Amino acid sequence: MRNELAGDLSLAEGKNQYDNHVKRVLANKIILAWILKYVTEEFADMSVEEIKSCIGSDIEVSEVGVLPGRSNRWKAEKIKGEAQEDAVPGEGEIYYDIRFSACLKSRKERIKLLVNVEAQKAFYPGYFLTTRGVFYGARMISAQKGTEFSGRDYDNIRKVYSIWICMNAPDYIGNAISTYRMCKEDLIPGIPDQRETYDKLAVVMVCLNPKSKKGDPLTRMLGVLLAPGVRAKEKIQQLETEFAIPMETETIGEELNQMCNLSDYVEEIGIQKGIEQGIEQGIEQGIERGREQTLICQIEKKLAKGMTVPEIADALEETEETIRRLIDGMR
């Protein structure tokens, strides 16, 4: 039987590799373009292809830190797919899953957005994801000092989006998308509403549930892309035919193959580990049943001699409660 620690390590390694491939799949420009189209107001009226051309070459996956001192190290080269980190002495390393910039020309000016995409398995991992999203967004704003603006030039702060994709939303939520942003509320009217001066942070929750019948094109596409237990070939065919996502010129096809293979591996390791645990539990249960059968035989003999429950318990060094339970089972 395989060592339990070895099984745990294999399972953990498989899960980590699977998580990394999920991030890399999501970090493909065409997938990011789909996300931007359906969760941001700035890109809502553009086609996926148009949005794709607006996404910068600075896509970073698990490379930039969230905590102070790590966030403003932007690398403007190729698209990656891992995590970005920010660390402070005494605090753990935290990385953005995916971080990138997107630019578009409006009628008045060129708009640049900074975007963070996070993939989450649990809707509530012990805290509210929206609150964590606010923290990530706030860090993306504060990290702009010295990169996007300097001194007191706060008007050049770029708007940030922190987008959270929850792959296992509870049934009562189903497929759903919600945006959380800052808005103006007049306690005493009079101050002009200049939205561009405060609309700098938005947190978006994208919830996915395979049982849910509601949704929009984005939740349906992500549902196919991230569906567990579905072969890569089936996913690729659906993505091409139903959502017009080409695979020939994208690295997404290869990433999907690796992601699905790792998903099968993680499931296989998990099943094997469960079988081994079941065998161990069965052995323990068998030993316990054998011990009880021995006790029952001894109890029967002592009852035949006219011994009382307290006397039997004392002779067998068991509690009276145990002796009574076994006697009741004999009847």
**pLDDT by 10s per residue, the chain, length 331:** 444 444 443 444 445 556 777 888 888 899 999 999 999 999 999 999 999 999 998 898 877 777 765 555 544 333 333 345 544 444 456 788 899 999 987 656 678 999 999 998 888 888 999 999 999 999 999 999 888 988 889 999 999 999 999 988 999 999 999 999 999 999 999 999 999 999 999 999 999 998 898 999 999 999 988 887 777 788 888 888 999 988 754 556 666 666 655 444 444 445 455 545 555 565 566 666 667 777 787 888 888 888 888 888 888 888 888 888 888 877 6
134: enclosing H helix or E strand: helix 129-142
Q: For residue 39, give the nearest of 169, 175, 202 by alpha carbon.
A: 202
In the chain, % helix, strand, coil (3-state, to 5) comes to: 45, 15, 35
Task: Write out the two tokens for 212.
Answer: 């849910």
Distance CA 133, CA 47 (A): 27
Distance CA 322, CA 330 (A): 13
pTM over 0.75: no
Amino acid (1-letter code) at residue 89: P
Q: For residue 140, give the nearest of 167, 105, 113, 121 by alpha carbon.
A: 113
Distance CA 4, CA 274 (A): 11
Asked if 86 contacts 116 with a C-beta cutoff of 8 angstroms, the reply is no
Q: Phi and psi of 117, rounded to 5°?
A: -120, 130
pLDDT at 264: 46
DSSP label at residue 121: S
pLDDT at 135: 95
pLDDT at 258: 62
* 3-state SS class at 203: strand
Neighbours of 325 (CB within 10 A): 12
Distances (CA, A) of 56 to 3, 32, 100, 103, 136: 47, 11, 7, 7, 20
pLDDT at 102: 94
